[in-house]
Amino acid sequence: MLSDHAVSILIFAGIDVIMALSFFLPASAGQLSAGQGGFMALGAYTSAYLTVHHQTPFPLALAAAGLVGGLVGLAVGFPALRLRGLYLVLVTFGFGEMVRVLFLNAPAFGGPAGFAGIPPATTIWYVLGLLVVLVYFFTRVSGSRMGRAFAALRDDEAAAEAMGVNSTYVKLAAFAAGGVIAGLGGGLYAHYTLFIDPEAFGVGRSLFVMLYAVFGGLASFWGAVAGATILSILPELLRWVKDWREILYGLLVLIMMLVRPQGLLDAVLLARLSARGERAAARS
C-alpha cells in the first residue's frame, strides 16, 4: 500500500490536473483565463459552507460546487464575448482577484482568518473517479462537432463565424464547462485540506494552473494532464536540493519552455504517439 504521504502527493497532483483541465477547456476555444483560481475558490467555499452549516452530504455539496463554478463561468463568459487575447487574460485575472477579495471580506466564510473545520471527505477515489470522468469527456469531445468548433474558434474566429459557428454559444459553453471543472476541483481541495483561506486561490494559483497546461502543451488535453502531473510531483523529487528547490524548479520550467516552446506534448509528438498506438492496435 501507498504511504499516507504518497497518497497526499497523488491527491494534490490529481486536483492540479483537474484545475489544468479547467483552464484547457476554454483555452481550446482560444479563450485564455487567468482566473481559474477564482472558480476554484467558489467551489471550495460552496462545498465547505454547505457541509458545515447545512450538513449537506459531500457528494451533493460537491455537485453544488461544480454548479456554482459553471454558473459564474457563464457570467464571466459574457465580457469574454467582446474581448480577445491579452485583454481577456486581464479581465479574467480581475475576476479572480475580485473573488479573493470578496471572500476576504465575508465574515460568514471566515474572512481573512479562513474557513476551518471542514469535514474530511475527499479520498483518492473521488479524485481518480473525477479524473476518469474528465478523461472520458475530453476524449469524446475532442474531434466531435463541438470539439471542432472549439478548435476553429481558436484558429480563426472570423472564419469560424463565417462557416456558421455560433461563437457566442461556443465561448459561453467553454467558460461554463471550465467553471464546472474548476468548481469541482475546489470542492475536492476543501475537503482534503480541511481549512481554506482566500490566499490559497489567488493569482499564484491561477498562474500555476495556466503554467501546468501550457507546460504540457495546448494541442491536446493530455498536455494539461502531463504538465500538471509532472510539475506538481517535481517539487517532491527535488527535496534533496533543500533550499535550492524553488530555484531549480523555476530553472527546469524555463529550460523546458526554451527547448519545447509548444509544450511537452506538441502536435508532432501527439501524431507520432497516436500513430504508434494505432499500429499496436492493428497488431493485436
Partner 1 sequence: MSEPLLAVDGLSRSFGKLVGLTRLDLTVEAGGIHAIIGPNGAGKTTFFNLVTGALSPDGGRIRFGGSDIGHLPAYRRTALGICRTFQSIRLFGSMTTLENVLLGLHCRTRGGLLAPLLGVPFRRSPGEVAARERAVAVLEMVGLATKAHQSAVELPYGEQRRLEIARALASAPRLLLLDEPSAGMNPQETLELEALIAQVNRRGVTILLIEHKMSLVMKLSKIVTVLNFGQKIAEAAPAEIQRHPRVIEAYLGS
Using DSSP, how many helices (H) and how many strands (E) does the chain show?
A: 12, 0
Counting residues that bind partner 1 (by CB under 8 A) gives 31
111 burial via Cβ count (<10 Å: 0-12, 13-18, 19+): middle
Residues 88-127, mask of contacts with partner 1 (x by CB under 8 A) = ----------------------------------------
Q: Which helix (H) or strand (E) holds 136?
A: helix 124-141
Report if residue 274 touches partner 1, rule: CB under 8 A.
no
How far apart (Å, rounded) are the C-alpha atoms in residues 249 and 130? 28
Closest separation between CB of residue 62 and partner 1, Å? Answer: 19
Options 2, 60, 116, 159; binder of partner 1; rule CB under 8 A? 159
Q: Which of the residues 176 through 195 are near partner 1 (CB under 8 A)?
A: 177
CA 201 → CA 23, 80, 167, 190, distances in Å? Answer: 14, 21, 30, 11
Options 83, 146, 211, 238; binder of partner 1; rule CB under 8 A? 146
How far apart (Å, rounded) are the C-alpha atoms in residues 263 and 224? 10
Q: Please name the residue that has the C-alpha cell 483541465.
A: 21
Name the phi and psi angles at 165, rounded to 5: -85, 130
Closest separation between CB of residue 214 and partner 1, Å? Answer: 16
Within 8 A by CB and 6+ apart from 69, the residues are 39, 40, 42, 43, 179, 180, 181, 182, 183, 184, 186
Nearest CB to partner 1, comparing residues 121 and 182: 182
Nearest CB to partner 1, comparing residues 7 and 151: 151
Candidates 85-93, 158-166, 189-197, 232-240 — which segment interacts with partner 1 by CB under 8 A?
A: 158-166
Candidates 124-132, 154-162, 184-192, 257-265 — which segment interacts with partner 1 by CB under 8 A?
A: 154-162
Within 8 A by CB and 6+ apart from 56, the residues are 50, 64
Residue 151, all three cell numbers: 478548435
Options 15, 20, 160, 228; binder of partner 1; rule CB under 8 A? 160
Report if residue 173 touches partner 1, rule: CB under 8 A.
yes
Candidates 44-52, 66-74, 145-153, 223-231 — which segment interacts with partner 1 by CB under 8 A?
A: 145-153
Nearest CB to partner 1, comparing residues 29 and 41: 29
Contact residues: partner 1, CB under 8 A: 136-137, 140-141, 143-149, 151-152, 154-156, 158-168, 173, 177, 219, 267
